[in-house]
Amino acid sequence: MSKSKSIILICLVAFSISAADYSSLKISWEDKKNVSTASFQGNFNKQIISGYKNDIHTPADTTAAAALINGCKFSWQPTWRFQGAGTVWLNAHQSNDCSLLTLVENSQNSRRERSSILVLMNLFNARVVNFALLNGIDIINFCPIPDNNKIIALVKSPPTEYSNKNSYKLILFSQYDGKKIAAGEVFQYELNTMQVSNNGAFLLAAPENQSGVILYRTDNLNKILQRIKTPGTVTVAAVQGEGFLLGGRNFIVKLDKEGSSWKISRCYKVPRRFKPDKMVSCGSRNFAVIATGGPGFYYNSGDFVKLSDSCGAALAWDPKKRQIILTRQRNSGIIVVDAQAPVLDKQLILPNKIKPRTRGRVTGLFPDPGGKAFFALDDKGTMMKFFKAGRRWKKNIIFTAQDI
């Protein structure tokens, strides 16, 4: 047997063992029949290659450096799912230092049972540096814990022939190998948003169609720490300092910890009839907030400054360049705003008109950790890197969705 063939054989054996380990992970639900035996179906591969480096251009003191594995080449692309008009089931969050992108992709079998794959991408070199299969586990939302190797995920129960009612759990997973560490109690409502505090100690959860938010300690998801009333249903939240910004129809408030309890410390006077669905903190005092299909604003030193009249679905803050990046609905454009300028300086990018041509609408924006570019993820499952060459914007394709 040649050396190259032996390496491939070793890879396949190692990968099959890993997949078997993950398939044994079961989640306990109130209905004991509510157990999925599905396995993830998608485009992924792992090769063991001696000397292969995933830490190229990666500073040692970053989240990406802590997450990567050298000696393995990980390949992954999102899968185009032929449901309805076609879709990708993809969700992504960026680490606080902007170096690591954590993605979750879902698949579904003929019995409507869903599985997930947890993918880690090093944004210093745009390489997939690890992934974990979560067979039979339907992650519908998640957030990484800062400076940690864990994520908290909102997991939906498998379907049953007896009931269409869904159950949910908050589950703590290892971000590096996908192993379940702890789980909370079953509840019967979905969450509009969930955020982990900057110190990693607290989880904020905003129930759908309910006023108020729920706080947990991240090391004890079994017990509600505190319920807090809000002026209405919270549709969006962001972390600011050691507290949270909360937004809903006609309100934005700041939530801070005072002593041993959490309290609303400030109420902002928002523009009339405004219902935000994306929000980011822009430093210690300011923030940006948008409504998909409606206006977007930058809150700066007491004033709401309009960013766009008709926003798209994505919003981000670049802490190095101090720029707000958002999408607009018209022409699927991206607006880059210099928040340091006395009068907001805006640049317009039209992704679908920059070669190589793409057709999707941007649904996620992620600053480059080096501060020289930004990444965009669209609804066709394509991830792009945008950068300036002189005065012109250019883009590279990082990955795009493929059929199985």
Q: What is the CATH number of the domain that holds 370?
A: 2.120.10.30
CA 274 – CA 251 distance, rounded (Å):
8
Q: How sure is the predictor about 32, in pLDDT bands with cuts at 50, 70 and 90?
A: low
The answer to the question of residue 94 being in a domain is no
Residue 19 has pLDDT above 70, yes or no: no
Q: Does a structural domain hold residue 155?
A: no
| pLDDT exceeds 70 at position 169 | yes
Give the list of residues 6+ apart from residue 49 with CB closer than 8 angstroms, or none: 7, 71, 72, 73
pLDDT band at 343 (very low <50, low <70, confident <90, very high): confident
Predicted confidence (pLDDT) per residue in 312-337, tens digit: 999 999 999 999 999 999 888 999 99
Of 222 and 301, more confident: 222
User: pLDDT band at residue 16, thresholds of 50, 70 and 90?
Assistant: very low
Tokens of 123: 């944004």
- Asked if residue 161 has pLDDT above 90, the reply is no
Question: What mean pLDDT do residues 181-207 have?
Answer: 97
Give the confidence band of 110 by pLDDT, cuts at 50, 70, 90.
confident
Higher pLDDT pick, 317 / 16:
317
Query: Is 239 contained in some domain?
Result: no
Tokens of 137: 């586990």
End-to-end CA separation in angstroms for the chain: 30
pLDDT of residue 18: 38
Interacting residues of 167 by C-beta distance below 8 A, sequence separation 6+: 29, 30, 31, 34, 156, 157, 186, 187, 188
pLDDT digits (tens, 9 = 90+) for 275-306: 999 999 999 999 999 999 999 999 998 999 99
In a domain, 10, yes or no: no
pLDDT at 77 over 60: yes
pLDDT of residue 129: 97
pLDDT at position 35 = 61
> Residue 148 — very low, low, confident or very high, per pLDDT cuts 50/70/90?
confident
Rounded Cα–Cα distance for residues 326 and 345 (Å): 13
Residue 23: pLDDT band by 50, 70, 90 thresholds?
very low
Cα gap 345→38, rounded to integer Å: 50
Question: How many structural domains compose the chain?
Answer: 1
Measure the CA–CA gap between 195 and 91, rounded to whole angstroms.
14
pLDDT of res. 127: 98
Token duo for residue 332? 């699927």
Domain of 364 in residue numbering reads as 277-404
Window from 10-24, 240-254, 351-365 with minimum mean pLDDT = 10-24
User: Helix/strand/coil (H, E, C) string of 127-162?
Assistant: EEEEEEEECCCEEEEEEECCCCCEEEEEEECCCCCC
- Residue 50 clears pLDDT 90, i.e. is over it: yes
Angle at 71 between CA 365 and CA 23, to 5 degrees: 70
Is residue 302 situated within a structural domain?
A: yes
Is 253 within the bounds of a domain?
Answer: no
CB 262 within 8 A of CB 215: yes
> What is the pLDDT averaged over residues 55-71?
96
Residue count of the chain: 404
Percent of the chain at pLDDT exceeding 90: 79
**Residue 356, domain member (yes or no):** yes
Output the pLDDT for position 7.
39
* Tokens describing residue 337: 């705003």
Q: Tally Cβ neighbours within 10 Å of residue 275.
A: 17
Three-state SS letters, the chain? CCHHHHHHHHHHHHHHHHHHHHHCCCCCCCCCCCCCCCCCCCEEEEEECCCCCCCCCCCCCCHHHHHCCCCEEEEEECECECCCCCECCEEEEECCCCCEEEEEEEEECCCCCEEEEEEEEECCCCEEEEEEEECCCEEEEEEECCCCCEEEEEEECCCCCCCCCCCEEEEEEECCCCCEEEECCCECCCEEEEEECCCCCEEEEEECCCEEEEEEECCEEEEEEEEEEEEEECCEEEEECCEEEEEECCEEEEEEEECCEEEEEEEECCCCCCCCCEEEEECCCEEEEECECCCEEEEECCEEEEEECCEEEEEEEECCCCEEEEEECHHHCEEEEECCCCCCEEEEECHHHCCCCCCCCEEEEEECCCCCEEEEEECCCCEEEEEEECCEEEEEEEECCECC
Q: Is residue 26 part of a domain?
A: no
**Residue 12: is its pLDDT beyond 60?**
no
Q: What share of the chain in percent tops pLDDT 70? A: 89
For the chain, the average pLDDT equals 90
> Exposure of 322 by Cβ count < 10 A (0-12 exposed, 13-18 middle, 19+ buried)?
middle
Shortest CA distance to 148 belongs to which of 66, 204, 70? 66
